A and B are shown apart, each in its own frame.
Chain A
Amino acid sequence: MIEAMSEKRSSTKSAVEVKAPEAPASTAPSPVVPGGMGGEPAHYDVIDAIRRGESVEPTVHESMSEADAVIQSDDFKLWYGDSQAIHGISMGVPRGAVTALIGPSGCGKSTFLRSINRMNDLVEGVRVEGGITLNGSPVYEPTVDVIELRKRLGMVFQKPNPFPMSIFENVVYPLRIDGERRKSVLQEACERSLKSAALWDEVKDRLKESALGLSGGQQQRLCIARAVVADPEVLLLDEPCSALDPVATIRIEELISEISERYTVLIVTHNMQQAARVSDYTAFMYLGRLVEYGPTGDIFQNPKLIETAHYVSGRFG
């Protein structure tokens, strides 16, 4: 099973890599669009249906059903007060891979991500229907301990949010709140996760200094170190690079590729190149609905829907 997984992963990766040299980072890999490529305004069946508020079956590639899902959402719906932000999403996030969520602004990517570790509980008036499971255990059940649940997931936010403490304290924060006080354990964990966040060499001499003194990119990597220090089952990244410059972005992307060898990653991004570069699977969302979901190579080069093709090539959205 695991061998099969890794084999499939390497195949998807190579599919992207083949394309990469022709399409440098500045332009999106041009999709192979089925149907009309002309200049006339395209006619989108699915998107228009969604805009009209009709429920549409998502287009999920066949290979997805084989994958072993860590996170499985089942007709998940979410309301902010009276307005519905998510209209029944059913999808599985494959284990040990990077899955990207893409879609125009306001389509509910962050909301879906935050539903997984129930950060939406903090928002007044949120209501959900349907379920999400994490490694088979339900997320939305009255008996679930939210604190325990969040400890099983690591989360990194759009804007770097290091705490106003030392770098060391920032990294070991999740362990501290678990009551870990042994200095050796903390130091060992701090070093390990800073290394896996590719930050160790830069900060190893200034662990006692305030984390607020780091650059934006370093701060974001620090947040990643903080998210992985307690060995989470899944890493949730919400546009981790949107506040960073291109160089820092590249570093974080490399980091995500590295980290994905050990963790399952679910990443929200606005940047098509980024999705193409770092992810194994991509889900395209629109107005709270899943539109198309499949291996990244297929989504970018051989999507089944014209909407997806136009979106990833930047022609709409």
Chain B
Amino acid sequence: MSGDRQESGVGGAKVARRRTLPSAVGEPMVWLTGSALVLCLLMIVTLATLVVVNGLRTFWPGDIDRVTLESGEVVMGIRTAEDKQGRYLYRVGNRDIGQESFRWIDGDKIAQVEQPEHAVMLEREAWGVWFGMPESVSMEADDGSLVALSEGAAETLDQFALLHPDARAQRAKAESMRKRELGKINHGIEHARLRIAGAEMGVDLRENASDRLGWVSWSAVSVVVVLAGFVWWVGREVGVGIGSSGVRQGKLTRFGCALIVVFGLVGIWVGAPWRTQGVTAAERDVIVAQMEHVQEQLQAEYERVLAEIRMSEEQDSKLRLVVVEPTTDRFAPIAQTRGDEPMMLSQVVRLIPANQLSVVGKTKVFFSRWWEFLSSGPREANTEGGVYPVIVGTVLMTLLLTVFVTPLGVIAALYLREYAKQGFGTSVIRIAVNNLAGVPSIVYGVFGLGFFCYTVGRYVDTGPVAGTSLQSGVWWLMFGAAIVTAIVSFAFGLWGKPDPGSTSTIGNRVLARMSWLGWGVTVVLAVMVLWRTPYFAGFFGARAAEGSPTFGARGLLWASLTLALLTLPVVIVATEEAIAAVPNSMREGSFGCGASKWQTIRRIVLPGALPGILTGAILAMARGAGEVAPLMLVGAVKLNQDLPVSTTAPFLHADRSFMHLGFHIYDLGFQSPDSQAARPMVWTTTLLFLCIVFALNLAAILIRAKLRGRMTGAAI
């Protein structure tokens, strides 16, 4: 064949044909590249499927088996798995009578399996689930004996359904009273105690420490809000210049920002956290007497509320539920140590008669469990209940970190791309920034703990480290020096600029270098002046002295800042690329219209780069939300039911530690006392985490798509 071809030359002459290599036949690379892609997709799909299937299975109520073994032993539970040797894994619960909550049962040894119609699974407030047969609902009589209100399983279930909602409501009320009202009273007593303690040290702490915290955080919030408002404003008024109805909105936003700043300043002024007033002996006695009176009153109030709660709880404890398990014939006890008393009705979170339920009924249970999971706090070392505080903590931290990192990164990138003279310096900075992205995240955690929590935080709490503050004369000298160097550097900077139309001379260059040096010195001096001031003793000294630091410990603020630092390179790189992609002809057109550099940046460059900037912010958000290692050092905790947001004083409690889904998963899987029982929850929490990160990303992507649509114009 090929010989024929070679012969067929023009005019009979032999033409040497180029041969086709076997490797070029049939495009083998298509197969190679294609299968690599398929492999990647397969892995991702497998991951997603695994998480989704396992995550969804957790809350589906399975049938309850009553297994009779050949030895005569009877076991009740839900079958969850099976292995190759024909063994079945049963979830048997009933931990309070001393059994493991999961149990392997040999298939050969099973004599009989049945599914009793009335078998139930109880989810309780403590000690996990309980499997058994309902026997009766009883009422405790005055003499302490139990009077049955129902007989038989069916009637008991009906009776339970009737009484359970009220019992739960009552219990919830008592609990919230315990938390809210007693909390408020305790707060007041603490306030009085602090003022007495302060007075005895010779200081009038007119506001207590937590109020000061309130004011200071409030001011911090205002800063955050202003930054966020700024981003929004830039995004809307400038970025979405099409439509141009934004003038009034822009004014409104500016007005709002100004208002918030004023609020913040007033807050600081009113709170005056730096102001401490000395008291004379007479004043001290007055304060102490006043505060002791307040304490007494509050104490009485405390007793009264407590009595009320006790009453309600006593009422509550009268209704009992008897559910008997088959192995030992014991009923679910009120507490592990009081095995002879049946449990209270109100201790039951949910009763699931799984074998009775139709698919619809099971679906109902499924959703009610999901709702509990999403809307309530964790119980039992996180293995039961919900993850609401965890979601709040995760979302809040992610938002905060985005708010911190985006303006910072964008401004840095703007300088690097638009203002800085491109050269050796900027290249070095770029390489450094890129390398920063490769630093292991735990390193940031260590840095955050050491720098933010223990250095900056402690400074906020107690001011300069004892003994390091300067003499006031020296301090003022330094302060003056800082101002002088700033002015000199500024002047040098101006002189260092070449005249228009001429290139910079050696003198220019020397002056410019000196200016940079001067700014460096100024920064060092300014830090020294702040760091060693004799005029600042911290905002939260009293509490820190008692061993409970406010900002000098792990918390939401420091965690967000640490992660902001971690994700900074992502934003800088993305923004730089986006800015570079704005065509130069746009800038020239703007300059040609007489726009200044900043106007050009604000009206042409930033809007053009906005989709890219948002991409950077999204990537930063995704990276930050998924990071766990540094959080373990700077703020995430196993359990903190106090949300970092609340309706009281500073609203955003940036000093509080918080719960985080990533850390929660780790904790569930590896730190919980009953890790097998926690395993389904690990899957579900993972699914939730995946969904949240996905939702955050999706939201940002949608915003970006919308912006991009407006930028390129619908008319095309």
Contacts and interface: CB of A to CB of B under 8 A. Distances in A.
Contacts of B711: 164
B249 to A, nearest CB: 12
A225 to B, nearest CB: 12
B607 to A, nearest CB: 7
B715 A210 contact: yes
Interface string A199-236: 00000001011111110000000010011001000000
Interface in B585-602: 585-596, 599
B715 A122 contact: no
Contacts of B496: none
Contact of B712 (A124, A141, A169, A212): A212
A231 B463 CA distance: 59
A169 B242 contact: yes
Contacts of A174: 593-595
B608 interface: yes
Contacts of B710: 210
Interface residues of B, number: 36
Which of A118, A141, A159, A165 counts the most chain B CB atoms within 10 A?
A165
A162 B501 CA distance: 28
- The residue among A142, A151, A230 with the most chain B CB atoms within 10 A of its own CB is A142
A119 B588 contact: yes
Interface string A173-216: 11011100101000000000000000000000010111111100
Nearest to A207: B244
A163 B715 contact: no
B247 interface: yes
Contacts of A223: 589
Nearest to B592: A155
B604 interface: yes
Interface string A236-270: 00000000000000000000000000000000000
Contacts of A126: 501, 503
A96 B713 CA distance: 38
A166 interface: yes
Contacts of B25: none
A163 B712 CA distance: 10
Interface in B236-278: 241-244, 247
A150 interface: yes
Contacts of B587: 122
B716 interface: yes
A211 B603 contact: no
B499 interface: yes
B604 A147 contact: no
Interface in B95-131: none
A125 B603 CA distance: 27
B145 to A, nearest CB: 82
A73 interface: no
Interface residues of A, number: 50
Contacts of A119: 588, 591-592
A62 B713 CA distance: 52
A121 interface: yes
B713 A127 contact: no
A166 B715 CA distance: 10
B33 to A, nearest CB: 36
B80 interface: no
A161 interface: yes
Interface in B578-628: 583, 585-596, 599, 603-604, 607-608
Contact of B502 (A128, A212, A227): A128
A155 B595 CA distance: 12
Given A157-B585, A169-B242, A181-B247, A209 B592 contact: no
A173 B604 CA distance: 10
A237 to B, nearest CB: 11
A211 B588 contact: no
Interface string B38-56: 0000000000000000000
Given A166-B241, A174-B594, A212-B716, A161 B501 contact: no
Contacts of A284: none
Given A166-B244, A206-B715, A147 B500 contact: no
Contacts of A211: 713
B594 A142 contact: no
B602 to A, nearest CB: 9
Contacts of A49: none
B591 A163 contact: no
Contacts of B421: 124
A168 interface: yes
A146 interface: yes
A150 B608 CA distance: 23
A311 interface: no
A144 interface: yes
A169 B241 contact: yes
B428 interface: no
Contacts of B589: 157, 161-163, 223, 226
A140 B588 CA distance: 19
A122 B241 CA distance: 26
B714 interface: yes
A16 B588 CA distance: 35
A263 to B, nearest CB: 15
A139 B594 CA distance: 14
Contacts of B713: 164, 209-213
A169 B590 CA distance: 12
Contacts of B714: 209-210, 213
B598 to A, nearest CB: 10
A150 B593 CA distance: 7
Interface of A: 117-119, 121-122, 124-128, 140-142, 144, 146-148, 150-151, 154-155, 157, 159, 161-166, 168-169, 173-174, 176-178, 181, 183, 206, 208-214, 223, 226-227, 230
Interface of B: 241-244, 247, 421, 499-503, 583, 585-596, 599, 603-604, 607-608, 710-716
Closest 3 A/B residue pairs (Cβ): A210-B713, A213-B715, A151-B594
Given A166-B243, A176-B603, A210-B712, 11 more contacts: A127-B502, A128-B502, A140-B501, A151-B594, A154-B592, A157-B588, A163-B589, A164-B586, A165-B242, A209-B713, A213-B715
14 contacts: A124-B421, A128-B502, A146-B500, A150-B594, A157-B585, A157-B589, A161-B583, A163-B604, A166-B243, A169-B241, A173-B590, A177-B596, A212-B712, A226-B589
